[in-house]
Structure 1
Amino acid sequence: MIMKSRIVTTTLLVFCSFIACFAAIAGLNGKWTGSVKITPEDELSLVYNFKVDGDKLSGTVQSPDGNDLPIAEGVLSGNEFAFIVKAGKLVVNHTGKYYGDSVIVSAYVDGKSFKAVLKRDK
């Protein structure tokens, strides 16, 4: 009887943890903005529009010329995510972490890494 109670309790806790993770990361949906320093003199504005569907991430990233580039191969795991964006022949790998009120995104391109803090656009 005690063993059965422990199994039921453990199962419920695991199930609730999964539900909480999916509910939390669903908060990533929407428009996020920020900026990143490319050089000490140059700063680039960033606009990400995220769409969460289960453990898949899609959406767009706004290019410097204002065009929306699609997010590809987007995956979610807990509050972390990864995706790529293709701009012509250039492939930009992204990783990130969702914190509820902010998102930290790292982009890797041409052997360089850039990190930015994004805030939900109001």
Structure 2
Amino acid sequence: MKTVFFSLILSIASLVAMAQNPIDGNWKGSRETPNGTFEVNYTFKVEGDKLTGTWKTQFGEAKIEEGKVEGKKISYSISFNDRKMSYTGELVSEKELVVKSERGEMKLAKQ
């Protein structure tokens, strides 16, 4: 009986550890600029309260730096072309994430 109970507890703990954070994954967004449409693709990975991943645009790619997760809220920075940009964001639903920077707000859709 103890072996069955221990196996059950171990199985449940494994499932909880493998549960994916809804912020994990690929996200896509765009916004209009004076120079045309700016499209961005993110790949986010959450491990505990740490956020990592990549940012890709038609101009290049950068790694997510200083990434943090607090519940549904995220913050991170991106260094690109000798410039560092800071972002904050919030998970609105399982399929929508809104990120903000000094350049404005962008809605991201989960891919």
TM-score range, shorter chain: 0.7 to 0.9
Query: How far off is 1:87 after superposition?
Result: 0.4
Q: Which ranges in structure 1 are unaligned for 5 or more consecutive residues?
A: 1-18
Q: How does 1:8-87 map to 2 (within 5 A)?
A: 26-39=21-34, 42-65=36-59, 67-87=60-80
Residue equivalent to 1:8: none
Structure 1 ranges of 4+ moved more than 2 A: none
Give, in whole Å, the separation in 2 of the partners of 1:94 and 1:116. Answer: 11
> What percentage of residue pairs aligned between the two structures are identical?
25
Residue equivalent to 1:103: 97
Give, in whole Å, the separation in 2 of the partners of 1:88 and 1:34. Answer: 21
Higher helix residue share:
1
TM-score (ref. length: structure 1) = 0.69
Indicate the SS of the match to 2:66: strand
- Mapped contact 1:63–1:69 kept (Cα < 8 A): no
Indicate the SS of the match to 1:28: coil
RMSD, aligned CA: 1.8
Q: Which ranges in structure 2 are unaligned for 5 or more consecutive residues?
A: 1-15
Aligned counterpart for 1:93 among listed residues 64, 86, 89? 86
Query: How far off is 1:114 after superposition?
Result: 1.7
AA aligned to 1:43 is: T
